[in-house]
Structure 1
Amino acid sequence: MLTNWVLKKTLKGEVDYKAPEVRNKVGYLSGLVGIFINVFLFILKFIIGLICSSVAILADAFNNLSDAASSIITIIGFKLSSKPADKEHPYGHGRIEYISALVIVSLVLVVGFQFIKTSISRIISPAPVTFAWLPFVLLLLSIFFKWWLSHFNRVLGNKINSQSLKATATDAMGDVFTTSVVVISFLASRFTRFPIDGYVGTFVALAILYAGFNLIKETLNPLIGEAPDEELVHALTEGVLAYDHITGVHDLIVHNYGPGRIMASLHAEIPADIPLMTIHDIIDTAERELSEKLRLHLVIHMDPICVTSEEVAKVRSEVDKIIRYNPLIQSMHDFRFVGEGEKKNLLFDIVVDAYHLDKVLSAHDLKQSIIDAIQEEHPDYNCIITIDKCYLHEPK
């Protein structure tokens, strides 16, 4: 309720969350709300930690301060990543959002390492923790603030599909857990002289480091070059196949230059007997309409496929039967003959499960098994098979 009210007041009515200007507004909103709440929680917990002499509470306080700094970096990241393309960066500055997330992670890790040191010192040289009910209640209240902030960023992150905001939401939910442990240890200090404060401080610091290393993985993946989103792959494939005369799609490549800055290319199979201008018009239309619909830049390459030759149809049917029951092979494309007379080159590509290839059968052995089966019926064919590895469906 509160999240929707904040969005309604900020964006004023129905909006397109994929639009760049709306996306930036949502990013700024997340950053500003994060700064306000985290600075408030830092001041609150810092005062409580000093009054009660609790290193665990102080560790949690500085964790909130690093979150506030992260929110500032989020705003800067959205601002810089929205800069238009220029001579030095023809594909825009979208990846700055990922780089800003790495800076956030660095702050998280620094806080974690610092408080491991402080907490271990407290274990070695214990100091009494002063329990009081008012600080205890205020700490409980801080848990609610962090829970709402996690929910808020998750909603915003899903609406604009931002890994940065989703990571912030995960970090905030981790803070809910660590603060809950701090509150329990604070209450326990009322009943025991055991230096639980130092141990809990160490636990909180380790939780901060764990969250930081997870964030590193999430932010490095798009910079290194991760596999495209399966929903996007499905939308592109089904979208292209919906156009007249296009019978198959393969060799899809997606380049991510930052949120909302995606370039994609693919090969579309079309009958070879279709007039060139007709299919060119269809391809142009598909590129334009799907680029606008999916908010990316799409380039389609035409692959003419011979569908009238009886020999091609017969041999393709035979090869289909050979590969149909092989669990490694997902599909076949670019099936064609090159050459004349008795000696012909039979060329085609197969898409294989990259996660099981070489574990079950090597690429060489897989190709050879198919070639041997074909040449049993057609010994004069020279088979040239290309293997395309698919990384989309990772085993559970």
Structure 2
Amino acid sequence: MTHQNTRTREIVRVGRTAILVSVVLALLEALEGVFSGSVSMILDGLSHITEASNAVITVLGARLAGKPADRKHPFGYGRVEYLSGLLIAGLTAYAGITGILGGIQSVLHPSRPRFTVYSFSIIIISMIARIVVGRHDIHTGKHTDSRALTQTGKSELKHSLLSLVTVAGMLVYTVFHISIESWLAIVISADILFGGLIMVRDMLSSMLGERMEEELAQDVERTILEEEQVFGAYDMSLNNYGPGRHTGSVHIAIPDTLSVVELDKITRRITQRVYQKHGVFLTGIGIYTQNTTDPEVIRIREDITAHAMSHPYVEQVHGFYLDPDEKKIRFDTVVSFDAPDRMQVRDQIRSETAERYPEYSVQVSLDTDFGMLPAKK
């Protein structure tokens, strides 16, 4: 909770700075645009309002996400930040649409702008401020794992291009008396719109549920394997309830000679160690027992594993169990999403295993890799 509070304070501090800068520049630039008759300058000033709105959403989202869990939301409010990011992406796209429409209106009804040294100064200050604030927001967003703040920074950098276009248009008009600012504003606004739509796509993808971070999953796996009696960690599934808030489950392979008391101690140690090192709370640890005493069972397991792994789309075999009394063999396979038909691969492995060991009934389960395994080469 101390880490989360520190993180929230940092996001709020950076967001407040962005709000203040955006509001001041919006007032200065929009008013000067009205006095000078520059449409691109007015649009540039109004785009600061979008940035201020983005920063407000980021601050409010961070505060709401920092609320403690309650009965209705036992996993907390961390996912509010994803909604914040989606709103910011939508506002960025809307800013692009507004800029395009304003530019078209200016092309259809042109006016003669009147630029001054003050106008140039305001635009240049606006551009520099956007670059500085945007880069700082992106840096802090990545440091705090805040997608909303990162999106705000990207929006500010995009809008700095609009300031650059405004300066270019003013210079061209001053030197050649040719007004190109409206056309340039349309082009840059189209780029802002495209960037906003990309942001919307990325945020929707996050909200739908993406593959978990491979680095985090593999770090958790290494921590689990620090236990001497654990042979492997499989079927890990981590659910993200906001930045730095993960819950999940995993299966571990252990010797079939362990007592229930020993197993209880191992799972408790794993749960505590994983949470302390990675901030991941394992809500469940399943068990795969592995035979370590019968040489024939070990030979069959190694043979079946090697044969199954020879298939191009099989990424892992685990959970092997042979019941000599009931003559049953069962194991799990992880089949790549690249396979044209994952179920067909599973069925092929099952039929081939049954042919190799006809005296046993064979059961093969199809597992999904949510992010633990690198792609098989």
Fold shared per TM-score above 0.5:
yes
**Contact 2:238–2:249 (CA under 8 A) maintained in structure 1:** yes
Q: Which residue of 1 aligns with 2:332?
A: 349
Relative distance call for 1:182 and 1:309 in structure 2 (3 A) is farther
Q: Which residue of 2 aligns with 1:312?
A: 297
For residues 357-395 of structure 1, the C-alpha deviation after alignment (integer angstroms, 9 at most, x for no partner) is: 11xxx2243224323433443223332222223354589
**TM-score, normalisation: structure 2:** 0.91
Task: Return the alpha-carbon distance in structure 2 between the equivalents of residues 394 and 220 of structure 1.
Answer: 25
Task: Return the alpha-carbon distance in structure 1 between the equivalents of residues 196 and 276 of structure 2.
Answer: 36
RMSD: 2.3
Counterpart amino acid of residue 296 in structure 2: E
Task: Return the alpha-carbon distance in structure 2 between the equivalents of residues 27 and 78 of structure 1.
Answer: 7
**Contact 1:131–1:187 (CA under 8 A) maintained in structure 2:** no
What is the CA-CA distance between 1:194 and the residue it aligns to? Answer: 4.7
Q: Which residue of 2 aligns with 1:387?
A: 366
**Contact 2:165–2:181 (CA under 8 A) maintained in structure 1:** no
Count of paired positions = 373
Q: Which residue of 1 aligns with 2:349?
A: 370
Task: Return the alpha-carbon distance in structure 2 between the equivalents of residues 48 and 77 of structure 1.
Answer: 33
Counterpart amino acid of residue 330 in structure 1: E
Task: Return the alpha-carbon distance in structure 2 between the equivalents of residues 53 and 169 of structure 1.
Answer: 29
Equivalent position SS for 1:106? helix
What is the CA-CA distance between 1:127 and the residue it aligns to? Answer: 1.8
**Contact 2:55–2:149 (CA under 8 A) maintained in structure 1:** no
Q: Which residue of 2 aligns with 1:297?
A: 281
Moved more, 246-255 or 142-151: 142-151
Runs of 4+ in 1 over 6 A off after TM superposition: none
What is the CA-CA distance between 1:193 and the residue it aligns to? Answer: 5.1
**Contact 1:353–1:391 (CA under 8 A) maintained in structure 2:** no
Equivalent position SS for 1:304? strand
**Aligned: 1:335 with 2:320:** yes
Relative distance call for 1:314 and 1:298 in structure 2 (3 A) is same
**Contact 1:147–1:176 (CA under 8 A) maintained in structure 2:** yes
What is the CA-CA distance between 1:246 and the residue it aligns to? Answer: 0.6
Relative distance call for 1:178 and 1:384 in structure 2 (3 A) is farther
**Contact 1:322–1:373 (CA under 8 A) maintained in structure 2:** no
Q: Which residue of 2 aligns with 1:84?
A: 68
**Contact 2:225–2:232 (CA under 8 A) maintained in structure 1:** yes
**Contact 1:95–1:258 (CA under 8 A) maintained in structure 2:** yes
What is the CA-CA distance between 1:152 and the residue it aligns to? Answer: 1.2
Q: Unmatched 5+ residue regions in structure 1?
A: 1-15
Task: Return the alpha-carbon distance in structure 2 between the equivalents of residues 266 and 351 of structure 1.
Answer: 14
What is the CA-CA distance between 1:164 and the residue it aligns to? Answer: 1.4
Task: Return the alpha-carbon distance in structure 2 between the equivalents of residues 353 and 377 of structure 1.
Answer: 24
**TM-score, normalisation: structure 1:** 0.87
Relative distance call for 1:206 and 1:381 in structure 2 (3 A) is same
Equivalent position SS for 2:230? coil
**Aligned: 1:159 with 2:143:** yes
Q: Which residue of 2 aligns with 1:122?
A: 106
Identity %: 24
For residues 26-69 of structure 1, the C-alpha deviation after alignment (integer angstroms, 9 at most, x for no partner) is: 11111111111111221232133223322222222111111111
**Contact 1:339–1:345 (CA under 8 A) maintained in structure 2:** yes
Equivalent position SS for 1:189? helix
Task: Return the alpha-carbon distance in structure 2 between the equivalents of residues 49 and 327 of structure 1.
Answer: 63
**Aligned: 1:60 with 2:39:** no
For residues 72-108 of structure 1, the C-alpha deviation after alignment (integer angstroms, 9 at most, x for no partner) is: 1211111111111112111111112222223333333
**Contact 1:222–1:256 (CA under 8 A) maintained in structure 2:** no
For residues 292-349 of structure 1, the C-alpha deviation after alignment (integer angstroms, 9 at most, x for no partner) is: 22123113222222222223211122123213343322211101124626xx332111
Counterpart amino acid of residue 349 in structure 1: D
What is the CA-CA distance between 1:169 and the residue it aligns to? Answer: 2.0
Counterpart amino acid of residue 258 in structure 2: I
**Contact 1:115–1:205 (CA under 8 A) maintained in structure 2:** yes
Counterpart amino acid of residue 58 in structure 2: T
**Contact 1:122–1:198 (CA under 8 A) maintained in structure 2:** yes
For residues 223-250 of structure 1, the C-alpha deviation after alignment (integer angstroms, 9 at most, x for no partner) is: 2222211221111111111112111111
